């Protein structure tokens, strides 16, 4: 299978199953409308006739180049990876999202956690529960050495003592169990102070800082409890944090909605504040809500992704790349192995979320949906049935992925999106697919 | 080749042989929390 697209003056051909990427000229691009295996020793006359604005010699030369790529296994290769599809069964748990706070000090309009409480009571996780969750993770991690723990909420800084004690505890036992904890935190920044910044920069290998972009965009949808915007409070704090991060990772992470379909402006704005690692993503929301992204927004969104790609490509050409955009980052040579690419996240299988009272869910977006409760860290129960259900999700078991050109880049999408929008974890959300495919094209173009 | 420039020789088929070690990151938690693009994750084995 191949996929071809045009972007910003480039003609690009992807050989889906080998991962091959080819930049071609217009003739090769058009010839691929017709030429497919089995290839003959010269271009068939009926094909030559279809490209009458090129000379027959040129067409034949091009045809033979395509044939050569095919012979070398770089075009029209087969998908023979299904045999690896069930390799994730019985995988240990290696990542955990710790919901240390089901409370929040902002009132963001689009919060999937329903302003922090996930539809339940506002509640903070105790230190004991945090520590117990680390024991649970170690006990269920088998021979995995790197264990990832993300402090999440609601707003995790509201449960700061739990964050600190949990990290300290995990660090005190990691060596004896031959584990290496990697902590991350996702915060809205309101409660950041020097002490917290210092701790985060020392202990957290990554941190995600929520900011939506331009002041008016951010403040419209990310107000404080008193209704005032959050921009002026958080920007200086984030700047201070990032200055102290040295070589550690961070992302300034924004959400775009129907209100700011010109989100490339927000990306540029965040960059102008001194941030270089950026992630700005479409909102996940019920289509009936006024800010939700709907089908009719797609052309506009695609234009905006194109615009952003073009800006980044120009910066790259000029040798002055000013920022990274998370969803345009694909390393064509050192990406994950194909076995990894058969499934997306490890949600419900290698990754779980834990609520303030110790309940276990497949991931942070499933929290609070009773049918997906998998167990509790206190009773050590873990629903085998739910775990296996997720372990069996891959590009060969999800609807539409098997024939999708983007399958080895996207890997089947977000299970939570599928459930929330389509009511079925095996049905990818088509709107998300369209945006995902566009971003992958942009990412590949940036690698040309 | 005059019509085609191959940008990467990376061959997914070869990664199958040594792949599947399971050491790499598993979720969307590092940057976004609402979606997943596996291709932009790192392989821990080649680091
Ligand atoms: S874009 Fe959609 S259909 Fe394609 S692999 Fe991803 S989830 Fe599956
Ligand atoms: S299901 Fe979606 S939100 Fe949950 S871990 Fe996977 S990619 Fe992330």
Predicted pLDDT of residue B22: 80
Q: Which residue of chain B is at minimal alpha-carbon distance from A330?
A: B40
A16 lines ligand 1 (CB under 6 A): no
The 3-state secondary structure of chain A reads: CEEEEEECCEEEEEECCCCEEEEECHHHHHHCCCCCCCCCCCCCHHHHHHCCCCCHHHHHHHHHHHHHHHHCCCCCCCCCCHHHHHHHCCCCCCEEEEECEECCCECCCCCCCCCCCCCCCCEECCHHHHHHHHHHHHHCCCCCCEEEEEEECCCHHHHHHHHHHHHHHHHHHHCCCCCEEEEEEEECCCCCCHHHHHHHHHHEEEEEEECCCCHHHHHHHCEECCCCECHHHHHHHHHHHHHCCCCCCCEEEEEECHHHCCCHHHHHHHHHCCCCEEEEEECCCCCCCCCCCCHHHHHHHHHHHHHHHHHHHHHHHCCCCCCEEHHHCCCCCCCCCHHHHCCCCCECCCEEEECCCCEEECCCCCCCCHHHCCEECCCCCECHHHHHHHHCCCCCCCCCHHHCCCHHHHCCCCHHHHHHHHCCCCCCCHHHHHHHHHHHHHHHHHCC
Residue contact B40–A327, C-beta within 8 A: yes
Ligand 2 pocket, mutate which of A150, A279, A347, A424 (most atoms under 8 A from CB): A347
**From the CB of A436, is ligand 1 less than 6 Å away?**
yes
The Å distance, Cα A347 to ligand 2 centre, comes to 6
Cβ within 8 Å of B, A 122-141: none
For every one of its 448 residues, what pLDDT tens digit does chain A have, with 9 covering 90 and above? 999 999 999 999 999 999 999 999 999 999 999 999 999 999 999 999 999 999 999 999 999 999 999 999 999 999 999 999 888 888 999 999 999 999 998 988 888 777 777 777 789 999 999 999 999 999 999 999 999 999 998 899 999 999 999 999 999 999 999 999 999 999 999 999 999 999 999 999 999 999 999 999 999 999 998 889 999 999 999 999 999 999 899 999 999 999 999 999 999 999 999 999 999 999 988 888 999 999 999 999 999 999 999 999 999 999 999 999 999 988 888 788 888 889 888 899 999 999 999 999 999 999 999 999 999 999 978 999 999 999 999 999 999 999 999 999 999 989 998 998 899 999 999 999 999 999 999 999 999 9
**Best residue for ligand 1 mutational test, from A3, A393, A398 (most atoms within 8 Å of Cβ):** A398
Cα dihedral A237, A276, A291, A362 in deg (nearest 10): -90
Secondary element (H or E) of residue B18:
helix B12-18
* Residue among A62, A333, A344 whose CB faces B38 most closely: A344
Please calculate the CA angle A98-A103-A106 and round it to the nearest 5 degrees. 115
Q: What is the predicted ipTM?
A: 0.89
Q: Of A232, A153, A229, which is closest to residue A186 (Cα–Cα)?
A: A153
Q: Judge whether A351 is closer than 8 Å to chain B, CB to CB.
A: yes
Q: Which of A28, A74, A351 sits opposite B3 (nearest CB)?
A: A28
SS3 B15: helix
- Tell how far the Cα of A413 is from the centroid of ligand 2, in angstroms: 8
Mutate to test the pocket of ligand 2, among A113, A281, A414, A436 (most ligand atoms within 8 A of CB): A414
Number of Cβ within 10 Å of residue A314's Cβ equals: 12
Nearest to A343 by CA among A22, A33, A87: A87
Contacts of A330 in chain B (CB under 8 A): 37, 39-40
Region for residue A123 given its phi and psi (left: phi exceeds 0; alpha: psi -120 to 50; beta: otherwise): beta
**Reported confidence tier of residue B30, pLDDT bands at 50, 70, 90:** low
CA–CA dist A71, A77 (Å, integer): 10
* CA distance linking residue A253 with residue A283, whole number of Å: 12
pLDDT at B38: 74
Instruction: Give dist(CA A216, CA A231) in Å, integer.
Output: 9
Nearby residues of B3 by Cβ (< 8 Å), 6 or more positions away: A24, A25, A27, A28, A61, A62, A65
Is the CB of A237 within 6 Å of ligand 1? no
Q: Residue A301 and residue A304: Cα distance in Å, rounded?
A: 5
Q: Whose CA is closest to atom 3 on ligand 2?
A: B34
Pocket, ligand 2, Cβ cutoff 6 A: A 344-345, 347, 351, 363, 365, 414-416; B 27-28, 34-36
Which is the closest atom of ligand 2 to the Cα of B36? 7
CA of A197 to the centre of ligand 2 (A): 27
- Cβ pair B16:A447 closer than 8 A: no
Question: Band of the pLDDT at B47, cuts 50, 70, 90?
Answer: very low
Distances (CA, A) of A199 to A126, A160, A167, A207, A268: 19, 11, 10, 12, 29
Instruction: Give the closest residue (by CA) to ligand 1 atom 2.
Output: A433
Which residues contact residue A48 at a Cβ distance below 8 angstroms, ignoring those fewer than 6 apart?
A: A56, A59, A60
Centroid of ligand 1 to alpha carbon of A418 (angstroms): 11
Q: Is A281 on the interface with B (CB under 8 A)?
A: yes
pLDDT band of B40, cuts 50, 70, 90: confident
What is the pairing mode between strands A251-256 and A20-24? unpaired
Task: State pTM to two decimals.
Answer: 0.94
- Sheet containing A20-24, strands listed edge to edge, beginning at the edge strand earlier in sequence: A2-7, A10-15, A20-24, B4-8
Q: Which ligand lies nearest the alpha carbon of A411? A: 1
């Amino acid at each position: 299978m191949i996929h071809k697209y045009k972007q910003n003056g480039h003609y690009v051909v992807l050989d889906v199953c080998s991962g091959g990427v080819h930049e071609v000229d217009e003739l090769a691009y058009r010839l691929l409308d017709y030429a497919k295996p089995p290839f003959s020793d010269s271009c068939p006359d009926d094909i030559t006739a279809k490209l009458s604005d090129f000379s027959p010699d040129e067409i034949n030369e091009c045809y033979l180049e395509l044939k050569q790529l095919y012979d070398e296994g770089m075009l029209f290769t087969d998908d023979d990876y299904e045999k690896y599809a069930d390799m994730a069964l019985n995988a240990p748990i290696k990542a955990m999202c710790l919901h240390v706070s089901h409370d929040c000090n902002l009132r963001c309009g689009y919060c999937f956690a329903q302003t922090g409480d996930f539809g339940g009571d506002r509640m903070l996780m105790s230190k004991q529960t945090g520590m117990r969750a680390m024991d649970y993770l170690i006990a269920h991690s088998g021979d995995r050495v790197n264990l990832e723990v993300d402090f999440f909420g609601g707003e995790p800084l509201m449960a700061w003592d739990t964050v600190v004690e949990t990290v300290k505890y995990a660090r005190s036992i990691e060596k004896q169990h031959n584990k290496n904890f990697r902590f991350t935190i996702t915060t809205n920044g309101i409660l950041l102070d020097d002490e917290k910044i210092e701790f985060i920069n020392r202990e957290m290998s990554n941190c995600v800082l929520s900011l939506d972009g331009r002041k008016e965009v951010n403040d419209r949808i990310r107000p404080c409890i008193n209704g005032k915007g959050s921009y002026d409070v958080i920007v200086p704090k984030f700047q201070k944090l990032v200055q102290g991060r040295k070589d550690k990772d961070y992302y300034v992470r924004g959400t775009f909605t129907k209100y700011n379909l010109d989100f490339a402006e927000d990306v540029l704005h965040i960059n102008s504040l001194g941030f270089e690692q950026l992630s700005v993503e479409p909102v996940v929301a019920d289509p009936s809500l006024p800010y939700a992204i709907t089908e009719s927004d797609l052309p506009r969104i695609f234009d905006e992704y194109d615009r952003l790609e073009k800006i980044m490509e120009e910066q790259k050409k000029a040798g002055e790349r000013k920022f990274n955009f998370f969803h345009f980052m694909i390393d064509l040579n050192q990406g994950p192995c194909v076995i990894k690419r058969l499934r997306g996240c490890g949600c419900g299988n290698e990754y779980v979320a834990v609520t303030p009272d110790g309940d276990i869910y497949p991931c942070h977006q499933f929290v609070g949906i009773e049918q997906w409760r998998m167990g509790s860290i206190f009773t050590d129960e873990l629903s085998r049935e739910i775990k296996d259900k997720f372990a069996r999700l891959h590009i060969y078991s999800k609807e539409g992925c098997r024939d999708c050109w983007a399958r080895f880049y996207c890997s089947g999408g977000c299970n939570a999106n599928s459930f929330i929008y389509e009511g079925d974890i095996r049905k990818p959300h088509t709107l998300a697919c369209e945006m995902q495919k566009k971003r992958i094209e942009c990412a590949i173009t940036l690698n040309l | 080749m005059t019509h085609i420039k191959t940008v990467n020789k990376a061959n997914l088929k070869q990664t199958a042989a040594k792949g599947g070690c399971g050491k790499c990151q598993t979720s969307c938690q590092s940057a976004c929390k609402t979606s997943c693009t596996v291709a932009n994750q790192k392989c821990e084995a080649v680091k």
